[in-house]
Chain A
Amino acid sequence: MKKEMLDILCCPTCKGDLELEIKKEDEGEIIEGSFTCKKCNCTYSIDEGIPNLLPK
């Protein structure tokens, strides 16, 4: 996923803002990383460029 898409994402569980941690990036695209919800602390992974935002 691209960083600029972050502003329209939120936590699926509590709708809080997400904090992004990038582990691997390629040409502006986040390949591996994770999101942590600033409100409920749920974490969501980004694997092979795909954010897994299924609710916890």
Chain B
Amino acid sequence: MKDKDVKKIVKDSYSEIAKKSGNGGSCGCCGSQSEIDIAKSIGYSDEEIATASEANLGLGCGNPTALANLNPGDIVLDLGSGAGFDAFLAAKKVGESGKVIGVDMTDEMIGKAREIAKRYGYKNVEFRLGDIDNLPIESESISVIISNCVINLAPDKLKVFKEAYRVLTKNGRMYVSDIVLLGKLSEEQKNNAELIAGCVGGAMLKDDYLKAITGAGFKYRILDEDTDISNRQYQGINLESLKVELYK
């Protein structure tokens, strides 16, 4: 499948999810679990869920802001910010002297995130419509990048990591939670639109994913691997949620 076709599938699907959200909609992969159950199962506290409940669409596979040890004043970039759940949690941690920028390629998600930011008076968070493999961000301007279950959706993951490397400062860090495969998918599975949008079809084998990270110039440290997510959310497909810290 061509890269632009994959992007269209992802865009259309997440646009629908944004429109339906608030009515119990979530990604096709997660069965009957509620957004709150999913958020709890992947490491969000009750307090975090309550903080930005409208922005929690149950689409993550980890809690990168919890891994990131954010400090006041940090400039944070959220790759694939969706309705802004992680961005809002990060905004609380970086305080008024910090900034959070969310980038997402889906209009409806960015619109929803901005609406929530406005309603709750978040002054240090902004959202931009953009591509995570072609970031509209100055080189070496970001102290921490977070990304939650999004890079698997990008057709060119190496390019995403290269862009992340470019925009991070010398001492910058990146915290990724993402779905990686532990066994190969069939060609049919790889081309299945629902599986692509559901974070599986476009996922890479774990070893290849780690190679893309080092190929972009990063060093990494694996923080956690959640294999149980396969049974909880992915009907037993051989995959895991990988939490990894990247640094230059």
Contact = CB atoms under 8 A, between A and B. Distances in A.
B131 interface: yes
B129 A8 contact: no
Nearest to A12: B136
A40 interface: no
A20 interface: no
Given A8-B138, A12-B135, A53 B114 contact: no
Interface in A1-49: 1-2, 5, 7-13, 15, 44, 48-49
A10 B134 contact: no
Contacts of A5: 99, 101, 126
A8 B111 contact: no
Contacts of A50: 110-111, 114, 127-129
B105 A54 contact: yes
B128 A51 contact: yes
Question: Per DSSP, are chain A's interface residues mostly helix, strand or loop, or mixed?
Answer: loop
Contacts of B131: 12, 54-55
Interface string B129-146: 111001111110110000
A15 B139 contact: yes
B75 interface: yes
Contacts of B99: 5, 8
Contact of A53 (B111, B129, B138, B139): B129
Nearest to B118: A49
Interface in B99-116: 99, 101, 105, 110-111, 114
Given A50-B114, A54-B129, A8 B135 contact: no
Choose among B128, B130, B142 the residue with the greatest number of A CB atoms under 10 Å from its CB. Answer: B128
Contacts of A2: 126
Given A50-B127, A51-B129, A8 B141 contact: yes
B148 to A, nearest CB: 21
Contact of B136 (A7, A11, A48): A11
Contacts of A8: 75, 99, 101, 137-138, 141-142
22 contacts: A2-B126, A5-B99, A5-B101, A5-B126, A7-B138, A9-B137, A9-B138, A10-B136, A12-B131, A12-B134, A15-B138, A44-B136, A49-B114, A50-B110, A50-B114, A50-B128, A51-B128, A53-B129, A53-B130, A54-B130, A55-B130, A55-B134
Given A50-B110, A54-B129, 13 more contacts: A2-B126, A5-B99, A8-B101, A8-B137, A8-B142, A10-B138, A10-B139, A12-B130, A12-B131, A44-B136, A48-B111, A50-B129, A55-B130
